[in-house]
Amino acid sequence: MNSMQGQNPFFETYSTPHGTFPFDKIKTEDYVPAIHEGIRLQNAEIDAIIHNLEAPTFSNTILPYEKSGELLHDVSTVFGNLLSAETNDELQELAKEIMPLMSEHENNISLNEDLFARIKAVYDQRKKEVLNPEQTKLLEEIYNGFVRNGANLQGEAKDKYRSLCKELSLLTLQFSENNLKETNDYQLVLTEKSQLSGLPESAIDAAAEMANEKEMKGWVFTLQTPSYSPFMTYADNRDLRHELYMAYNTRCAHDNTANNLEIVKRITNIHMEIAQLLGYDNFAEYNLQERMAQNSDAVYKLLNQLLDAYTPTAQKEYSEVQALARSQQVDNFVLMPWDWAYYSHKLKDQKFNIDDEMLRPYFELNKVKEGVFGLATKLYGITFKQNSNIPVYHKDVDAYEVFDKDGQFLAVFYTDFHPRAGKRSGAWMTSYKGQWIDEKTGKNNRPHISIVMNFTKPTQDKPALLTFDEVETFLHEFGHSLHGIFGNSTYESLSGTNVYWDFVELPSQFMENFAIEKEFLHTFARHYQTGELIPDELVQRIVDSSNFNAAYACLRQVSLGLLDMAWYTRNTSFEGDVKAYEKKAWEKAQILPSVEETCMSTQFSHIFAGGYSAGYYSYKWAEVLDADAFSLFKEQGIFNPETASSFRENILSKGGTEHPMTLYKRFRGQEPTIEALLIRNGIKK
């Protein structure tokens, strides 16, 4: 290797604990040379497969293909993850160079006729080779992956496919960048104390801290959730709530360079064109073939079932909040979307005498972390040990080693909790290294997993005190992490969270169930100042209020599912008005009055820049599964080690090695029904 390569950390063997990435040594200028070298190496590996003179077999074609591209995978993983969690102008510029390169390279592989001919030969002979179930699954996944990525296309169609993929990779990047820019560019600056009326101390402190950071006078509120959410819930000033609401809900729909309206149209149309090139009527039909739902009829069936079951209750919930607002305003007061959180909170407080500020002191972040880690110890016997020798990409990030109940090393686990300018909004789990077993040596290569959040930050005089929602979010992402941590497959591409998208949310949503269990809360929820355990009656109020406005929340998810399906079941090109189309798409699930200028599509990263295109319904699909799965824990004890062991064994460690319904039935003994969800939400007694 030349000297330039010698200085590039991606070309070295990492001398870090567990071969973790040396984030402290990786520089922006290292990515492009490492991507080029990664592409060169993988091309050489692909050439070796093609030029093998022996007849194609699983071991000389499928296995080397599965193992190819290690360097490229490493570099693109680090780059892609930091683009979301710790980005800057240089990385965003670089992405415009790297994404098309990657797209081009991926297409060169999936459209390589000689490579596909060998893979197809192995696939066609699969009955004659003696393959175990996991090998069979890998072969099917790889073969189908090639077909679904255009391997059967010829001539012009192949060129068209290439150019569409390249354009799509740039557009999704632009969509995300615009979103981050619009979120970061807005600030509501308040200079009069009276404007803060109704806001809790925690929100005022955080806003003062933000003003301080920006070297401004007064209080600064932003569109980041820990700032936006308390303002919408507590601020008495309706005009300011309206202003903040409009800023949040019109992101990327303004007449400026960060506008996503045309990008939404183009992304929708490209997805449709790709699907039709591959022989499908629309993108949803293409995408759902690899999902538990299988087709859009099944998705609409679920969404309509939920609509029918939840709408009457949601309308009742709306009327109650509206009545309260009118009792405090005027008789003909119309409850608008910027009033919903404010008056809902007042009603909840009236009914259950509970709110986030009352609970915050019991949810100090370090204690919550102990509780969540402790839950995994109780259920599965695993333990977490911080290791400050593992390099991290930002000072806010902590790295842990995870050990199994017998003391064996299981995984590296990174946590990244607070918002900052270089981090996109939301919360997610990701991995830096997958799990796989070396078939020659039997060595089990363990995964490196990360969770990224945007939680309330500590202030000068208070630690980070979380809202109840943030505790649930932590449990959710931690559930995804366990899916990765417990991965135990022979092949990396079948391991951990590499499962159908409407199954991937089961482990995450399953963990959220613990948030309202007294036995769990009692393991960690202590007042950060007095050390007093959360009182039983407060826990009871959490439980009693857990279904407050549950039907409204369900319809919100259904509305997003309907919007997603409306964009991706199209079989003709879209040239219309994005806002008008959106309002029509989800109107039957809307409870609040519609506001003309707002637009969700322009900021709906899940479906325009994430993996949820024609897949947003997955959250509700998995919720049916998680309610059904947790009902077994409720029957047998929420910490029951046998039930937990079966969940780990059949769901968490199996990855995508078998069909998810097969795995689910093995754990549960039956197919799931919607019953458990309706009962949990109080819709059905």
pLDDT of residue 4: 46
Closest CA to 660 of 617, 629, 616, 614: 629
Q: Which residue from 367, 353, 356, 362 is spatially nearest to 534, judged by alpha carbons?
A: 362
Instruction: Count how many Cα atoms sit within 13 Å of the Cα of residue 5 in the half-sphere of its side chain.
Output: 10
272-290 tens-digit pLDDT: 999 999 999 999 999 999 9
- The whole-angstrom separation of Cα 325 and Cα 65 is 62
**Residues in the chain with pLDDT values less than 50:** 1-5
Number of residues written out for the chain: 685
Handedness of CA 348, 349, 353, 355 (dihedral sign): positive
pLDDT at 7: 87
Q: Which residue has tokens 């070396």? A: 438
Considering only CA atoms, which of 206, 225, 222, 199 is closest in space to residue 357? Answer: 199
One-letter amino acid identity for 301?
K
Specify the pLDDT at position 685. 79
477 a catalytic residue:
yes
Q: What is the Cα–Cα distance from 497 to 482, expressed in whole angstroms?
A: 9
Contact 414, 449 (CB under 8 A): yes
Cβ proximity of 398 and 385 under 8 Å = no
Residue 6 confidence (pLDDT): 56
pLDDT the model gives residue 2: 38
370-416 pLDDT, tens digit per residue, is: 999 999 999 999 999 999 999 999 999 999 999 999 999 999 999 99
Judge contact between 480 and 474, C-beta under 8 A: no
197-219 pLDDT, tens digit per residue, is: 999 999 999 999 999 999 999 99
| 416, 424 contact by CB (below 8 A) | no
Identify the burial level of 398 via C-beta atoms within 10 angstroms of its C-beta, where 0-12 means exposed, 13-18 middle and 19 or more buried.
middle
Q: What is the pLDDT of residue 98?
A: 95
- Whole-angstrom distance, CA of residue 288 vs CA of residue 320: 39
Residue reference for tokens 């994404």: 99
Identity of the amino acid at 222 = T
Domains 3-152 and 360-497 belong to one CATH topology:
no
The single residue of 141, 285, 364, 477 carrying the catalytic annotation is 477
24-33 — which CB contacts under 8 Å span 24+ positions?
24/391, 25/391, 26/78, 28/90, 28/91, 28/94, 31/75, 31/79, 31/94, 31/98, 32/94, 32/97, 32/98, 33/4, 33/5, 33/8
Encoded tokens for 599: 């637009």
pLDDT of residue 58: 97
Quote the pLDDT of residue 3.
Answer: 36
* DSSP states along 385-449: EE-TTS--SSTT-EEEEEE-TTS-EEEEEEEE-S--TTS-SS-EEEEEE--EE-TTT--EEPPEE
Start-to-end CA distance of the chain, whole Å, equals 69
Selected from 1.10.10.10, 3.40.50.970, 1.10.1370.40, 3.40.50.1820, the CATH number assigned to the domain covering 3-152 reads 1.10.1370.40
Q: Tell me which fold the domain 360-497 belongs to.
A: Collagenase (Catalytic Domain) (3.40.390)
Delimit the domains of the chain by residue range: 3-152, 186-249, 360-497
Tokens for 525? 């929820």
The amino acid that residue 560 corresponds to is L
